[in-house]
């Protein structure tokens, strides 16, 4: 079965690309040919379930499901394809193009094993295929039974978790990224606790990270020692390096002394993220503003990458630089979900106009707009308490809670 003819079968079919119209994903066709040569086929959402249930699928290693904005209003056929594939123990790679956050969450919850945004960065599909065939899918009950493979790394724990990675990046100083990260982690932990899900937050600003301040947890020597030996760390040493907020949220604080951001390299960061993924259902990563050698590693692992900005010129200029950097390096910039902090009030029509002008000029979409929580937000940070604990009715807290509830659907059991 060639990439253009799904009716003729020639030899073993190792993979299928499935879309409403596969011709709309020309870069995916090229990558499928690079990966599988002639041993792949193209299907539609309508005919894919029957093919997956037939003998023609006996040699399938994976399917690649490509979706775009036109699929958002009718996700049922897409979800049915993913469900049938998982029942047949076939790995699923999701390739979304301009898909909104809610739709992406719904499809990931269905059991997709991995994610590669379209247009596909060089090597992204290859890496996603390798990952999908070596680990169980996140948050899907059937995925936990799909041929778990023992990892070569000595640190692989006996856990079926495959955490969702959510980095938080402030595109300018003081835009509230760390405040957002700390409170999002706490709200997620609260939302998921009844489902026996675990959340952690990692402070990767090794110089001046403030998560320990905002959540009043100690900066420990264990955290420094853990980072010093990151290459050989295992799940147990990660647990020992964690501090705890109210005995419920695990926090990896920044070390007691300011360290160079390159204190750990890309390979060590890759290993740390994989450790956290295998131990937690959600991993929030608070990032430094500086872009370093391992920034790409974090972005590659991210399911969604939150970029916080304010309605000012410095945020706009930094966003432009940031996007240019990602595009120049062929990095998956579509993972970035921009969040406008201290957004204008609903009645501020002039402010709303400025928001639209900023988004249009940068060619971005603000997925979320956070209200200005005022002085109580700063006070909560100084006291080392989450907003929920001190000012639960604060408008900023309410908006972060809404985001946490939306994200928590990614880890909800299908039979819940």
The pLDDT value given to residue 7? 38
The pLDDT value given to residue 74? 85
Paired tokens of 28: 């995916």
- The model's confidence at residue 140, banded by pLDDT at 50, 70 and 90, is very low
Which range is least confidently modeled, 1-10, 23-32, 87-96, 277-286?
1-10
Most distant CA pair in the chain, distance: 68
Burial class, 144, CB count within 10 angstroms (exposed 0-12 / middle 13-18 / buried 19+): middle
Measure CA of the first residue to CA of the last residue in the chain; give whole Å: 39
Q: What is the pLDDT of residues 330-375, one digit of tens each?
A: 898 889 999 999 999 988 999 999 999 999 999 999 999 999 999 9
**What is the Cα–Cα distance from 375 to 202, expressed in whole angstroms?**
26
Beta bridge partners of 14: none
**What is the Cα–Cα distance from 214 to 254, expressed in whole angstroms?**
12
Q: What is the pLDDT of residues 144-203, one digit of tens each?
A: 333 333 333 333 344 556 889 999 999 999 999 999 999 999 999 999 988 889 999 999
The pLDDT value given to residue 312? 95
Main-chain phi, psi angles of 24, to 5 degrees: -75, -10
DSSP state of 123: T
Instruction: Say yes or no to pLDDT of 136 above 50.
Output: no
Q: Are 133 and 61 in contact (CB under 8 A)?
A: yes
- The model's confidence at residue 104, banded by pLDDT at 50, 70 and 90, is confident
**What is the Cα–Cα distance from 89 to 112, expressed in whole angstroms?**
12
Count other C-beta atoms under 10 Å from residue 372's C-beta. 15
3-state secondary structure of 169: strand
Q: What is the mean pLDDT of residues 305-321?
A: 96
**What is the Cα–Cα distance from 27 to 122, expressed in whole angstroms?**
10
The pLDDT value given to residue 73? 82
Q: What is the mean pLDDT of residues 30-57?
A: 92
Nearest-CA neighbor of 39 among 59, 18, 22? 59
Quick one: how far is CA 214 from the chain centroid? Answer: 23
- The model's confidence at residue 112, banded by pLDDT at 50, 70 and 90, is confident
Give one DSSP letter per residue of 147-213, joined into a string: -----SSTT--S----PEEEEEEESSTTSSHHHHHHHHHHHHHHHHGGGT--EEEEE--TTT--HHH
Q: Are 319 and 346 in contact (CB under 8 A)?
A: no
**What is the Cα–Cα distance from 291 to 307, expressed in whole angstroms?**
13
The pLDDT value given to residue 5? 42
Instruction: Say yes or no to pLDDT of 124 above 90.
Output: no
Instruction: Say yes or no to pLDDT of 316 above 90.
Output: yes
Q: What is the pLDDT of residues 252-304, one digit of tens each?
A: 999 988 888 888 999 999 999 999 999 999 999 999 999 999 999 999 999 99
Round the average pLDDT of the chain to a whole number and report it.
86
Burial class, 212, CB count within 10 angstroms (exposed 0-12 / middle 13-18 / buried 19+): buried
**What is the Cα–Cα distance from 271 to 264, expressed in whole angstroms?**
11
**Please, what is the angle between helix 124-132 and helix 26-36, to 10°?**
60
SS3 per residue for 255-289 = CCCCCCHHHCCHHHHHHHHHHHHHHCCEEEEECCC
- The model's confidence at residue 44, banded by pLDDT at 50, 70 and 90, is very high
Q: What is the pLDDT of residues 223-249, one digit of tens each?
A: 999 998 888 999 999 999 999 999 999
**What is the Cα–Cα distance from 56 to 37, expressed in whole angstroms?**
18
**What is the Cα–Cα distance from 94 to 108, expressed in whole angstroms?**
8
What domains appear along the chain, each with residue ranges and CATH number? 15-145 (3.40.50.2300), 164-411 (3.40.50.300)
Question: Higher confidence at residue 204 or residue 55?
Answer: 204
Nearest-CA neighbor of 300 among 266, 340, 263, 261? 266
DSSP state of 293: T
**What is the Cα–Cα distance from 51 to 61, expressed in whole angstroms?**
14
pTM for this entry: 0.64
């Amino acid at each position: 079965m060639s990439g253009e003819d799904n009716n003729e079968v020639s030899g073993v079919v190792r993979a299928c690309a499935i879309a409403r119209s596969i011709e709309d994903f020309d870069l995916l066709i090229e990558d499928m040919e690079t990966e599988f040569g002639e041993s792949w086929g193209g299907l539609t959402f309508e005919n894919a379930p029957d093919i997956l249930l037939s003998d023609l699928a006996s040699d399938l290693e994976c399917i690649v499901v490509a979706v775009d904005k036109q699929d958002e209003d009718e996700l049922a056929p897409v979800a049915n394809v993913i469900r049938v594939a998982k029942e047949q123990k076939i790995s699923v790679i999701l390739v979304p193009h301009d898909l909104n956050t809610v739709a992406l969450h719904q499809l990931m919850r269905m059991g997709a094993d991995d994610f590669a945004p379209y247009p596909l960065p060089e090597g992204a599909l290859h890496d996603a295929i390798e990952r999908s065939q070596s680990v169980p899918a996140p948050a899907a009950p059937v995925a936990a039974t799909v041929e778990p493979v023992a990892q070569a790394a000595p640190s692989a724990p006996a856990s079926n978790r495959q955490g969702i990675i959510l980095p938080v990046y402030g595109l300018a100083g003081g835009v509230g990224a760390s405040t957002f990260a700390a409170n999002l982690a706490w709200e997620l932990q609260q939302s998921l606790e009844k489902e026996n899900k675990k959340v952690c937050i990692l402070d990767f600003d090794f110089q001046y990270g403030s998560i320990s301040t905002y959540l009043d947890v100690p900066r420990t020597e264990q955290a420094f020692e853990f980072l010093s030996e990151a290459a050989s760390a295992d799940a147990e040493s990660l647990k020992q390096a964690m501090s705890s907020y109210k005995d419920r949220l695990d926090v990896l604080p920044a070390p007691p002394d300011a360290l160079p951001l390159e204190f750990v390299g890309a390979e060590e960061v890759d290993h740390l993220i994989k450790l956290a993924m295998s131990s937690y259902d959600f991993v929030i990563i608070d990032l430094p503003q500086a872009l370093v050698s391992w920034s790409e590693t974090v972005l590659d692992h991210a399911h969604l990458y939150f970029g916080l900005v304010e309605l000012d010129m410095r945020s706009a200029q930094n966003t432009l630089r940031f996007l240019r950097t990602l595009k120049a390096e062929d990095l998956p910039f579509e993972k970035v979900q921009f969040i406008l902090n201290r957004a204008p009030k609903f009645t501020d029509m002039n402010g709303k106009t400025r928001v639209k002008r900023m988004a249009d000029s940068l060619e971005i979409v603000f997925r979320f707009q956070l209200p200005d929580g005022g002085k109580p937000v700063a006070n909560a940070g100084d006291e080392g308490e989450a907003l929920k604990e001190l000012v639960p009715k604060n408008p900023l807290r309410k908006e972060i809670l809404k985001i946490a509830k939306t994200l928590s659907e990614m880890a909800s059991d299908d039979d819940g």
